[in-house]
Amino acid sequence: MTLLETLDGLIERLRAGDIDALEGIAKDMERALAAMDPADAAALAGVRARAAEAASLLDAAGKGVRAARWRLAEIRAMGTDGGRLVTYDGKGRRAEEGASLAMMQRL
């Protein structure tokens, strides 16, 4: 498998959200990189373009993971008893309320 094919596979899996497959792809990339001819300018240009696209997707995936971790930490901070309520208004401004806003049960 060539390095371009391996990068295409990486991009496909990133777009599909198949993070588990990345470890195997990394090993394939190492083998393909070792087999690549450094004098092939056309292949290097293609690799550079695919690598830039893969880097952009990896950056976006990292941002998504960081946002999810931040949100989970926020949820955990609310406590199991719901003692703290965090809401956002229509303009995205954060508002925190204490335990005084107990949840009402609908009858």
6: enclosing H helix or E strand: helix 3-16
Examine the pLDDT at 104 and tell me if it is beyond 70. no
**pLDDT, tens only, 23-57:** 888 888 888 888 888 888 888 888 889 999 999 99
CA dist., res. 61 & res. 95, Å (int): 28
**CB-side neighbour CA atoms (13 Å) of 83:** 5
Packing angle between helix 3-16 and helix 41-77, nearest 10 degrees?
Answer: 20
- Counted residue by residue, the chain has a size of 107
Q: Are 94 and 77 in contact, with CB atoms under 8 Å apart?
A: no
